[in-house]
Structure 1
């Protein structure tokens, strides 16, 4: 019985080593490929334009608020307490509007970014799958990952770039 368990353990070790060696693993410079894709560059440019427009809109509103604050501060001693209180309420309302504009711009930017990058990521994932299947890779891992302690396997980056026409 003891011989059988030792034999079984030895067989399991040989099988597990054989299975580990049979797996084909490649790395991929995901960021390098993404940065080389024209679709990503266009999405980045569109997002920058969108963000610049939103920031300009918010800055215009903030500058108007600053001008009113300065005007109201200078005129405050000459105005009645009721007028100053109304002006404070108006400034507070403007400040709330600016905060709402910033929140909305942030949400709009995130939605636009997600929509812009989704087709780029899908295209990359489809090509990685195609290259992995064509080359028999069991796993393709991001070469930029800090999880790697040592890597000397196949680099799939050139094959993916070639498939993308980059």
Structure 2
């Protein structure tokens, strides 16, 4: 019975090794493709402009708030406690509004980035699929992924760049 088990394990190992060697595997450096795409460069420019615009608005509002706070602190000694309390609440409300504007700006930038990345990612994935099918690759891994521990197979990055016209 032991000899039969050993023989069975040996046969399975031989077949498994044969099947593993028959697979065609390639890697693609998706980060390199992203950075070389004109669409990505245009998206980065748009996002930078949006961020600069939002930052300008926030700085303007922040400066206005700081000026108001300085004015209220300067006048605090000459005002009644009720007015000072009212002004304090007003300043707190303005600070809360500024924080909400900051959060909204971050959300707008993230949404714009996600909306801009979706067609770029689809274009890259379609090109990878087309190249992989044409070359007969059964598996194509992202070479820039930390999950890839060893790379000795074919590199499909140049073919994908060529498919994208880069």
Q: TM-score, normalised by structure 1?
A: 0.94
Alpha-carbon distance in structure 2 between the residues aligned to 1:147 and 1:117: 23
1:89-119 CA-to-partner distances (Å, cap 9, x unmatched) read 1111110110110111122222111111000
TM-superposed CA distance for 1:57, in Å, is: 0.9
Q: Distance in 2 between matches of 1:125 and 1:144?
A: 15
Determine if the alignment matches structure 1 residue 87 to structure 2 residue 111.
Answer: no
1:160, 1:82 → 2: CA distance? 69
The TM-score, its normalising length taken from structure 2, stands at 0.94
Structure 2 spans left out of the alignment, 5+ residues: none
Name structure 1 gaps, 5 residues minimum. none
Tell me the equivalent position of 2:66: 66
Q: How far has the Cα of 1:68 moved from its partner? A: 0.4
Contact kept, 8 Å, 2:141 with 2:148, in 1: the verdict is: no
RMSD of the alignment, in Å?
Answer: 1.4
Name the CA distance, whole Å, in 2 between partners of 1:65 and 1:147. Answer: 48
* Runs of 4+ that moved beyond 6 A: none
Figure out how many residues of one structure are paired with residues of the other and give that number: 166
